[in-house]
């Protein structure tokens, strides 16, 4: 089944899966902001769920993707696709089928994770050196899940270098993947700029949609990425956490703010004052403990300092603060 018309009728904008960063709470906040600004994300992908020895119990899927309790959508209505990471084709297939039973609207397979522990167990980006295993996994998953549920893959350009790109492309074509997201760097290149958007071009010979990802921090980067990669489909990662209005900025310059989505004030920028309420919501969100929540908030605030000068001032004043209530108070005063 081709999902091109259903999912890719217009250029898609996706919020990237980022373990420990775009968790359910952050997804809730960022998808809400995008929706309020008139350009909702088309979907987001969950943090990777690692498949090692058995079919994971339901509670694990619900923990990673509590949105499954709500039609697999965030409160603002953004669908969440489930990402699996593993190397055993049959086990991946069984887990994917179960995720679909629990309500996953699509399955994404991770071939990009650079973590040592994951790679040493033959998961994530290390499989880019074994395109035949990639083929086995994707085709097993494709066969195991209902035909109306898409199966996609997320890759990097290679493991240590780009020499296997032709084989990777072949594996993706033959496996029946419904679309492909490419983080335009090798595993060895980590997360350091630049991203090699032009290398994505060669994947456009595939007859499935290709989504470009990596190092998009502003609208100009997005334009350059689309031009160099030869695709209009983008996944936004750290840039979307640093500037939660990035998606609206990108589509303002790409004339993609849909009439139906336009908010009453036609705002595409989220000023610091408006971001404060979202930060407070984050701090009032669910986490194991307040210590965890405050730690996670500081991680976000640290990233926001790259996008908002006000964030730097707040950071300087609360960086040693552990009390959530005090931080909320500081946030409220930072509006004035
Ligand atoms: C903290 C962090 C965690 C990540 N976790 C995942 C993950 O779980 N699954 C995945 O496919 N990619 C993961 N990624 C990669 C991102 O989805 C994205 O490909 C990468 O950050 C490049 O995009 P960017 O330069 O816009 O951030 C992660 C990246 C970061 C920074």
Task: Let me know whether 186 and 113 are in one domain.
Answer: yes
Task: Let me know whether 328 and 234 are in one domain.
Answer: no
Task: Let me know whether 236 and 207 are in one domain.
Answer: yes
Query: What distance in angstroms lies between residue 336's CA and the mean position of ligand 1's atoms?
Result: 34
Task: Let me know whether 161 and 30 are in one domain.
Answer: yes
Residue 85: Cβ within 10 Å count: 27
Residue 260: predicted pLDDT: 47
Task: Let me know whether 311 and 167 are in one domain.
Answer: no
> Which atom of ligand 1 lies closest to the CA of 235?
26
CA-nearest of 159, 42, 31, 153 to 96 is: 153
CA distance 113 to 77: 28
The whole-model pTM stands at 0.96
Query: What distance in angstroms lies between residue 113's CA and the mean position of ligand 1's atoms?
Result: 8
Using the 3D structure, point to which of 220, 237, 261 is the last residue of a domain: 261
Query: What distance in angstroms lies between residue 8's CA and the mean position of ligand 1's atoms?
Result: 22
CA distance 250 to 220: 8
Number of domains in the chain: 2
> Which atom of ligand 1 lies closest to the CA of 156?
19
Residue 28: predicted pLDDT: 98
Domain-located, residue 245: yes
Using the 3D structure, point to which of 208, 232, 261 is the last residue of a domain: 261
Per-residue exposure over 282-291, b if at least 16 CB sit within 10 Å of its own CB, e if not: bbebebeeee
Residue 123: CB within 6 Å of ligand 1?
A: no
> Could you list the residue range(s) of the whole structural domain that residue 281 is in?
272-334
Task: Let me know whether 100 and 174 are in one domain.
Answer: yes
CATH number for the domain that contains residue 229: 3.20.20.70
Task: Let me know whether 108 and 162 are in one domain.
Answer: yes
CA distance 38 to 232: 19
Using the 3D structure, point to which of 236, 261, 286 is the last residue of a domain: 261
- Residues that are catalytic: 113
> Which atom of ligand 1 lies closest to the CA of 215?
25
> Which atom of ligand 1 lies closest to the CA of 181?
19
Domain-located, residue 242: yes
Domain-located, residue 214: yes
Domain-located, residue 51: yes
Domain-located, residue 266: no
Domain-located, residue 162: yes
| Three-state DSSP state, 67 | helix
CA-CA-CA-CA torsion for 234, 249, 38, 244, nearest 10 degrees? Answer: 80
Task: Let me know whether 167 and 34 are in one domain.
Answer: yes
Name which residue sits closest to atom 2 of ligand 1, judged by CA.
18
DSSP 249-296: HHHHHTT---GGG--TT------HHHHHHHHHHHHTS--S-HHHHHHH
Report whether 212 contacts 226 (CB < 8 A). Answer: yes
Domain-located, residue 267: no
For tokens 């035949």, name the residue: 132
Task: Let me know whether 226 and 190 are in one domain.
Answer: yes
CATH number for the domain that contains residue 313: 1.20.225.30
Tokens for 287, please give them: 């986490």
Residue 328: CB within 6 Å of ligand 1?
A: no
Residue 5: predicted pLDDT: 85
CA distance 73 to 28: 9
Query: What distance in angstroms lies between residue 236's CA and the mean position of ligand 1's atoms?
Result: 9
Residue 239: CB within 6 Å of ligand 1?
A: yes
Tokens for 333, please give them: 């005063």
Domain-located, residue 69: yes
Residue 50: CB within 6 Å of ligand 1?
A: no
Residue 319: predicted pLDDT: 94
Name which residue sits closest to atom 5 of ligand 1, judged by CA.
18
Regions of the chain short of the pLDDT cut 50? 260
Task: Let me know whether 151 and 285 are in one domain.
Answer: no
Query: What distance in angstroms lies between residue 222's CA and the mean position of ligand 1's atoms?
Result: 17
Which of 186, 199, 237, when mutated, tests ligand 1's pocket best, judged by the most ligand atoms within 8 Å of its CB? 237
Which of 13, 14, 18, when mutated, tests ligand 1's pocket best, judged by the most ligand atoms within 8 Å of its CB? 18
Task: Let me know whether 320 and 244 are in one domain.
Answer: no
CA distance 281 to 75: 13
Task: Let me know whether 328 and 207 are in one domain.
Answer: no
């Amino acid at each position: 089944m081709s999902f091109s018309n259903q999912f890719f009728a217009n250029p898609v904008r996706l919020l990237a899966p980022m373990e420990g960063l775009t968790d359910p709470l952050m997804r809730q906040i960022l998808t809400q902001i995008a929706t309020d600004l008139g350009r909702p994300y088309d979907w987001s992908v969950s943090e990777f769920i690692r498949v090692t020895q058995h079919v994971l119990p339901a509670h694990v899927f619900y923990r990673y993707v509590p949105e499954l309790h709500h039609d697999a959508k965030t409160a603002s209505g953004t669908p969440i696709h489930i990402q699996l990471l593993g190397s055993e084709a049959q086990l991946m297939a069984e887990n994917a089928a179960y995720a679909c039973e629990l309500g996953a609207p699509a399955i994404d397979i991770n071939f990009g994770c650079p973590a040592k522990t994951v790679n040493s167990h033959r998961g994530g980006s290390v499989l880019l050196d074994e395109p035949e295993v990639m083929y086995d996994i994707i085709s097993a998953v494709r066969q195991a899940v209902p035909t109306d549920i898409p199966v996609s893959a997320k890759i990097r350009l290679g493991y240590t270098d780009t020499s296997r790109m032709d084989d990777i492309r072949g594996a993706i074509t033959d496996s029946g993947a419904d679309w492909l997201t490419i983080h335009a760097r090798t595993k060895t290149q980590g997360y350091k700029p630049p991203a090699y958007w032009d290398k994505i071009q060669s994947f456009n010979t595939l007859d499935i949609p290709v989504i470009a990802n990596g190092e998009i921090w502003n609208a100009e980067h997005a334009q350059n990425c689309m031009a160099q990669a030869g695709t209009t489909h983008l996944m936004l990662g750290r840039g979307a956490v640093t500037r939660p209005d990035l998606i609206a900025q990108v589509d303002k310059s790409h004339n993609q703010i849909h009439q139906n989505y336009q908010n009453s004030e036609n705002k595409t920028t989220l000023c610091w004052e408006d971001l404060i309420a979202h930060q407070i919501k984050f701090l009032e969100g669910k986490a194991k403990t307040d210590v965890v929540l405050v730690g996670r908030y500081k991680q976000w605030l640290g990233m926001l300092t790259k996008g908002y000068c006000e964030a730097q001032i707040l950071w300087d004043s609360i960086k040693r603060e552990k009390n959530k209530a005090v931080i909320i108070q500081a946030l409220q005063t930072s509006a004035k």
